[in-house]
Structure 1
Amino acid sequence: MKMTDLEFYVEDFLTFCQNKNLSRKTILSYDQTLKLFLAYLKNEHGVEKITEVRTGHIRQYVAYVQERGKYTVVNRESSKLVNFPENRTDYKKPISTITVNNYIRNIKVLFNWLQQEGELVKNPVDNISLIKTVRRQKKGINQDEFNKLLEQFDYTTFHGYRNKIIVLLLQDTGMRIGECLELGVDAIDFKHKMILLTKTKGNKERYVYFSNVMGRELKQYLKHRDRYTETSLLFPTTKGTTLSVQSFEKQLRDAGRNAGVEVHPHQIRNNFARQYLLNGGDFYTLSRILGHSSVTVTEQAYMDLTREEIAKKYQNHSPLGRWKIQG
């Protein structure tokens, strides 16, 4: 079946993304978002050419998605006969502003690229803005909760001990869980207490750093690990294969439930950043460690410290509190 004009340009854009070595996750996000948008343009407005897309089409698409709710917009109606979205507990529930903004952002990337390619004279996304969001304060994990979480792992089993070390490493380095599970043993530099991450978001290598305590834990773990596997992976499954993010997330969620703590790998990364700042760390260094594209991204993500945390930090840095006042 012959592709429409819009379908051709979307496929060309996805090929461009692949040639740039963008991550599989990013390309998949573009693919899903843009093809849903194309289906909407064709079905609701009869638009199949790139030059026919107007700013109003994009605004109306955003409203369309928000009104209909989760899993109601599909690329092909036949997929409903396979996936049965109406059976999901969150079917038709409101789509978060973050998700809608991701849709808008991906559409903007496509049309900005088309303009750079010289395919557009007037860009329909020029006057399209992201929806203003109310930032939800990131929930931290305190020391007692963290220790209760660690207690849920059975250290006498390989996978239990492995999961404990993963949690410790996430809290100590702030790396992403996907980066952590791809690590090889040779990535660890014990002399300089740093780890080279090569499979990262954006495919940009960077170093993260670990403490003396973490160094001792890692050395003990490696002795234990060598009894169970010969793979070069730092955190393999019991069969020596790569542990999937989904599998670890489930095991962590189960441990958290038993400890009475709602926890997710990214929450531990956030917890690292929070504690780093509260202990006197600066945004510039934190941005480098986390692998953010800019310091601004880091500042926007971690300026939501609680009043109590700000008050505590203030007491440690109060100018008057550090002076010797005579009187």
Structure 2
Amino acid sequence: MKNETALNEYLFDLKLRNCSPRTVRSAKNNMALFLCWLETEYNLTAIEDIKRVHIKGYLHYKQSLGLKPTYINSILKNVKAFFNYMVREEYLSTSPASQIKLQIEEKVLIQTFTAAETKRMLSIYDTSNFLNSRNRCMITMLFDTGIRNYELCSIKCEDIRERTILIHGKGSKQRLVPISPLLRKAMLKYEIKRENYIRERWNYETDYYFLSQKGRRLTPETVERVVKDCGIAAHVDEKIRCSPHTCRHTFAQMCLKNGLDVYIVSRLLGHENISITKRYLQSIEDSAIIDMAITSSPLMKL
């Protein structure tokens, strides 16, 4: 089977399985580059001719470009998934990628905002107009729920409940996150400005909760920019990346420091397994761990 035909069928299967657009896009980009490289370097145009040595050659090429193990592993995972599909569909008897191991990744401590930085960021935007009230609500929601950027952009008005928000996460998995009194206050102020903004300009209702200046669904790029600008205005440490994902990291560590069970934090974050959540524990300072242990002493609770 021709490489291009195989890739198109694989991508069609991903869409059929209702994989997220991000998953499909990642598979398409990584596999297209991989197959193009094979054709250029080895003149390989059929999947039956691809061997383990060719895959290793591509990974070595990527490594020579200075790419980190985490990035190379993401490529290899896509390659493995592609060939596993070819085996399942009986186009191949075995996968040439099955015996290739993932690279050892360097353990990096997760960086978060400090409590003082978080407070300053929460106070940057007032509620004087639509955009400011929207931005304040977004920042509050990111810090208070730990949801991902694209999950925030995907929230619809019908997903907002009295005490919870229905989040549409990775792999079409849904979960509920709580609405704290602080978040509810920010949401109510935004909803008033949102309703007036729509009525004054377009006089129509839209499904998505967070809207752009033109009344359309908010994009992840806009959220990134708002958080970055907010961090700059709040004088956040320059070594810390001001992004929605850092808000997510901060939420996770604050929850753990406040004594919330790691399993509950894992569910709130929408992690597939608890090992991902445990990375946040590894990044908490020893002094904080000691304080958490003392306050949670079983004898002190008797």
TM-score by structure 1 length? 0.83
- Hey, what does 2:248 align to over in structure 1? 269
How far apart in 1 are the matches of 2:192 and 2:34?
Answer: 52
Q: CA RMSD in A?
A: 2.0
Q: Which runs of 5+ in 1 are unaligned?
A: 70-93
Does the CA-based 8 Å contact 1:141-1:271 persist in structure 2? yes
How far apart in 2 are the matches of 1:254 and 1:323?
Answer: 44
- Hey, what does 1:313 align to over in structure 2? 292
- 1:297 is the counterpart of 2:287: no
How far apart in 1 are the matches of 2:50 and 2:248?
Answer: 40
- Hey, what does 1:180 align to over in structure 2? 152
State the shift of 1:154 in Å.
4.4
How far apart in 2 are the matches of 1:173 and 1:8?
Answer: 42
- Hey, what does 2:232 align to over in structure 1? 257
Q: Deviations over 1:245-292 (max 9, x none)?
A: 101211221221222224110111111111111212222222222222
| Paired AA for residue 207 in structure 1 | L
State the shift of 1:161 in Å.
1.7
Does the CA-based 8 Å contact 1:171-1:269 persist in structure 2? yes
Residue among 10, 13, 26 paired with 2:10: 13
State the shift of 1:302 in Å.
4.8
Instruction: Answer with 116-125 or 296-305: which moved more.
Output: 296-305
Does the CA-based 8 Å contact 1:229-1:238 persist in structure 2? no
Does the CA-based 8 Å contact 1:162-1:235 persist in structure 2? yes
- Hey, what does 1:140 align to over in structure 2? 112
State the shift of 1:202 in Å.
0.9
- Hey, what does 1:279 align to over in structure 2? 258
State the shift of 1:315 in Å.
2.2
State the shift of 1:323 in Å.
7.5
How far apart in 2 are the matches of 1:125 and 1:280?
Answer: 42
| Paired AA for residue 222 in structure 2 | S
Q: Deviations over 1:55-107 (max 9, x none)?
A: 1111111111121x2xxxxxxxxxxxxxxxxxxxxxxxx32222111111100
How far apart in 1 are the matches of 2:87 and 2:149?
Answer: 36
Change beyond 3 A, Cα 1:151–1:217? closer
Does the CA-based 8 Å contact 1:228-1:238 persist in structure 2? no
Higher relative contact order (CA 8 A, sep 6+): 2
Aligned-residue sequence identity (percent) comes to 27
How far apart in 2 are the matches of 1:154 and 1:222?
Answer: 14
- 1:220 is the counterpart of 2:189: yes
Q: Deviations over 1:122-164 (max 9, x none)?
A: 3211211111111211112122101222333243232122111
State the shift of 1:170 in Å.
1.2
Change beyond 3 A, Cα 1:8–1:98? same
| Paired AA for residue 213 in structure 1 | L
- 1:106 is the counterpart of 2:85: no
How far apart in 2 are the matches of 1:222 and 1:49?
Answer: 55
- 1:118 is the counterpart of 2:90: yes
| Paired AA for residue 52 in structure 2 | T
How far apart in 2 are the matches of 1:288 and 1:36?
Answer: 35
| Paired AA for residue 50 in structure 1 | I
State the shift of 1:171 in Å.
1.2
How far apart in 1 are the matches of 2:34 and 2:165?
Answer: 41
How far apart in 1 are the matches of 2:213 and 2:7?
Answer: 41
- Hey, what does 1:156 align to over in structure 2? 128
How far apart in 2 are the matches of 1:25 and 1:118?
Answer: 27
State the shift of 1:182 in Å.
2.2
How far apart in 2 are the matches of 1:15 and 1:158?
Answer: 40
| Paired AA for residue 152 in structure 2 | C
TM-score by structure 2 length? 0.90
